[in-house]
Amino acid sequence: MSYRSSVNKSYENKESPKGYYYVNRVEPTNGTKEILNHSEKYANPNLISGVLIGKMQALKPLCFTQSLLAIVNSKPTYLLHREAGKIVLSGSQLKGAIKTYMQAFSMSYDDEERIDKNKLDLVNSITGYMGYTSRIMFKDIIIDEKDVETEIIVGKLQWSQADKLIRENKIRLYSHKKHEELDRKVNFEVLPPGSAFTFEILLNGLKNEEAGLLFLAMGFSPKDRFALKIGRGKNLDMGSVKFIPERLLTPKHSFDVSPNIIKDKDLVKLIFKSVNKYKSQMHKKNLENLQKIIKDSEGVFQI
């Protein structure tokens, strides 16, 4: 299918003046130290390493840009990010969005406000921080324009950080139900609801409970399913997605090129075991955050 954009499709927002809400931040009393060395990550059979593969599905219009604002048909328009003629959702952008949900479900520091930069929390011991190597890597999602048909929709200019001062001990999340009303209109090039793409995440030596936090934050848990928000226009009723895990490829040993494939019921078992192990040690306020996020997804996310 050739690339084509449909222009002048209105996507007006008529609900709340705010497109976001806050959940509690629970800071750890003591920092976490990651002491695994390289050989342990692969030799220890109790650690999870491999490539997690699945589908990301857009539930509402999806726009991801590098702040590229162009003029299309005489109107300012945020275009989807492209490289070498392909639409690209960078792995770092995806990782950053999911990290926010990981922080909502764990005892975590505010990366922007922390005083002691040497303290490491559980999330940053997984995602990497200040000299600590990340143990999860998100591959870029590359979309061939022959396989999709984008749309141009009418939205509003993105929210400005005017209320930064009220963020103390809180984590801002964007709502699937509330939409911010702004006066200045701008167009967005989007991938329409229903679009689905393959994601891949490299896991490098995660404990069961660490994998459980990641699985929980991506909405994998059968008992705790919810949609996430990613991309531009999250406060404007855009960017709702769900993640569906399909298989985990794990090495038989360090140099084996034929991986084990964990899928179907075995993958569900692994997710269930890991999430339950992590949830058993969650702080009460983090559990409250989980329920608030699940409730916000009601309606947009269908199990």
pLDDT of residue 4: 43
Cβ atoms of residues 197 and 148 within 8 Å: no
Backbone angles phi, psi at 169, to 5 degrees: 60, 25
User: What are the structure tokens assigned to 282, written together?
Assistant: 């969650």
**Residues in CB range of 284: below 8 A, 6 or more apart:** none
Backbone angles phi, psi at 262, to 5 degrees: -105, 120
**Residues in CB range of 15: below 8 A, 6 or more apart:** 177, 178, 179, 237
d(CA 275, CA 287): 12
**Segment holding 200, helix H or strand E:** strand 196-206
d(CA 73, CA 176): 30
pLDDT (tens, 9 = 90+) of the chain, 303 residues, equals: 233 444 434 434 333 347 889 999 998 877 665 556 555 665 677 899 999 999 999 999 999 987 777 888 888 888 999 988 899 999 999 999 999 999 999 999 887 666 566 678 999 999 998 777 899 999 999 999 888 889 988 876 554 544 544 556 899 999 998 877 666 678 899 999 999 999 999 999 999 999 999 999 999 999 999 999 999 888 888 999 999 999 999 987 655 567 899 999 999 999 999 999 999 999 999 999 999 999 999 988 764
Beta strands 151-156 and 185-190 are antiparallel
Give the single-character DSSP code of 129: B
pLDDT of residue 209: 96
pLDDT of residue 52: 98
Length of the chain: 303
Cβ atoms of residues 175 and 301 within 8 Å: no
pLDDT of residue 213: 98
